[in-house]
Amino acid sequence: MADRLRRKGSGEQLTATGRFALTARILAVNILPLVIMGGGLFYLDGYRTQLINERFKLARIEAQITAEALAGASRERQEALLVQIGKEQRMRLRMFDAKGKLAADSFALADPSFRFNDINDDDWEQRYARWLDRTVDTIVSAQAVQDYVEPEADNADAWPELSRARELGLSQVRLYDWRDGTPVITAAAPVGLQGATLLTVRNAVDITESVRSARSTLGFAMLLLLAASALLSLFLARTIVTPLRQLARAAVRVRQGREREVEVPRLPQRSDEIGLLARAVSDMTAGLRQRIDAVDSFAADVAHEIKNPLASLRSAIESLPRVEDPALRRELIAIATHDVRRIDRLVTEISEASRIDAEMSRATLEPIELADLVRAIIGGRENRAENEGRRIEIAATGYGARVRGVGIRLERVVENLLDNAVSFSPPDAPIQVVIDNDGSWVTLSVCDSGPGIPEGEREKVFQRFHSVRPDAEDFGNHSGLGLAIGRAIAEAHDGTLTAHDRPDGAPGACLRLRLPAAV
């Protein structure tokens, strides 16, 4: 029974592995929002970098075009251009002469076209936005940017990009960071051929606003996703908790024994771990019930079988004091002795039958050559005269007869089969033992020449205490447990023990032991 349950459970496990397991579902529900959030953060960082790079190109082009427009223009025209371009493009433009001194400043010539944000006046939403910016930059390991600070000296040497542009004669662009987290982009470009330079400064607030807007959209999407994840988690938890509670309630009822036919839910529609657990618990409960029923039946059979010799023994002992005839007293003593031996045999067989399952569950299976084992058993029986003069013929065919098992237990099966054959075979008829191996199974057949077993009785002979002995055999010499013990040992080795007719059609029975061949 246990082997059938194990094989059944393994088959269901193979079916479940092709479906979505609970582990995969739980991971998906919990990891998906994190993956999307992480991907969104890195996407926004890349998006911000792309915007800044595009603004770098624009700042370089604007500086170069403005420098070309300023070259060769009069002082008045240059100042007018600085003011006009500064207002239109919301920039601050400074022009330095060949000595690096400040020649013109659009913010000095007209009202400033923009103002840097004073963080001291920010409300809580702006402070939270700056904190969120710093947190995201930390998560994505954004490169640190130098803070924008207006130099105290109004000369070109105070600006690294201007110094670089004067040195190389090429336009230069640089990124700074204002205190509110918005980028400040400066561009320096040579003006004409006399050494003058132009510096543009733009506070790209729109980049930060665009990134924050995208982040808000992502945050809203994350909230929706988290809500969906929470609902899915609750649903998933319910699909786990509800069947577990059903199994727990059924297990409690089974343990209490208040309901004999408690139905443990099998959940056939589920092929995940919960379904496997439900079916395993249901099969385990069925197996336990069968074992309990078997134990109850066995106990009743034991009581019945022992009661008969005990009654006979009691009757003989109680009669002894009242009997004076020596011959009758010897007969009563013989009956009592026979009953004592019968009880002793019953107790020994019962003890062995009850230990088989426990011993086999702990036993280590070893390679055994079944043909050698059978030959050794037959030789030992002949030396002890247990074959009662009957000739035993043994034949082995196939690939050999190596199996994996417990030697002492397999020896008991062979002994029981030979005992049964000797009991039913006539003295002059041989007992045939055939061992065959077809590559997958090793078969041991023990055939006698007795009356045979009717087809309707072939399963009953393996029931405990079912014993139909020859008329010539003394009553009580067999307990009726031999074949039952043999089948229990065979099944513990993942094999079978069955009864058949002789394959040659002659009268007699053939008991067949099949065991898996050892690899």
Domain boundaries, the chain: 1-18+271-362, 24-216, 364-519
pLDDT the model gives residue 335 = 82
pLDDT the model gives residue 197 = 93
The 10s digit of each residue's pLDDT in 18-56 is: 355 666 666 666 676 777 777 777 777 788 888 889 989
Confirm if 497 and 477 have CB atoms less than 8 A apart: no
CATH architecture of 24-216: 2-Layer Sandwich (3.30)
The 10s digit of each residue's pLDDT in 356-372 is: 766 776 778 889 998 88
The 10s digit of each residue's pLDDT in 220-268 is: 777 787 777 777 777 777 777 778 887 888 887 777 765 566 677 777 7
Question: Reduced to 3 states, what is the DSSP secondary structure of residue 518?
Answer: coil
Average pLDDT of the residues in 377-392: 84
pLDDT the model gives residue 171 = 92
The 10s digit of each residue's pLDDT in 88-119 is: 999 999 999 989 999 999 999 999 999 998 88
pLDDT the model gives residue 450 = 85
Q: How confident is the model at residue 1 (pLDDT cuts 50, 70, 90)?
A: very low
pLDDT the model gives residue 18 = 37
Q: What is the CA radius of gyration of the chain?
A: 49
What is the number of other CB atoms lying within 10 angstroms of the CB of residue 293?
10
For residue 321, pLDDT over 90 is answered with no
pLDDT the model gives residue 387 = 80
Least Cα distance to 185 among 44, 88, 58, 85 occurs for 58
pLDDT the model gives residue 11 = 38
For residue 346, pLDDT over 50 is answered with yes
Cα(346)–Cα(304) distance, rounded to whole angstroms?
A: 11
Average pLDDT of the residues in 172-191: 92
Relative orientation angle of helices 273-319 and 2-16, to the nearest 10 degrees: 180
State in words which class domain 364-519 has: alpha beta
Sequence-distant (≥ 6) Cβ neighbours of residue 450 within 8 angstroms = 421, 423, 424, 425, 426, 470, 507, 508, 509
DSSP element (H, E) containing 447: strand 441-447
Q: How confident is the model at residue 472 (pLDDT cuts 50, 70, 90)?
A: very low
Question: Reduced to 3 states, what is the DSSP secondary structure of residue 168?
Answer: helix
What is the number of other CB atoms lying within 10 angstroms of the CB of residue 168?
10
The 10s digit of each residue's pLDDT in 500-517 is: 988 888 888 899 999 998
What is the sign, positive or negative, of the torsion defined by CA atoms of 313, 317, 318, 322?
positive
Cα(389)–Cα(392) distance, rounded to whole angstroms?
A: 9
pLDDT the model gives residue 23 = 64
Question: Reduced to 3 states, what is the DSSP secondary structure of residue 117?
Answer: coil
Confirm if 305 and 284 have CB atoms less than 8 A apart: no
Question: Which CATH number among 3.40.50, 2.60.40, 1.10.287, 3.30.1380 corresponds to the domain 1-18+271-362?
Answer: 1.10.287
Provide the mean pLDDT of the chain: 80
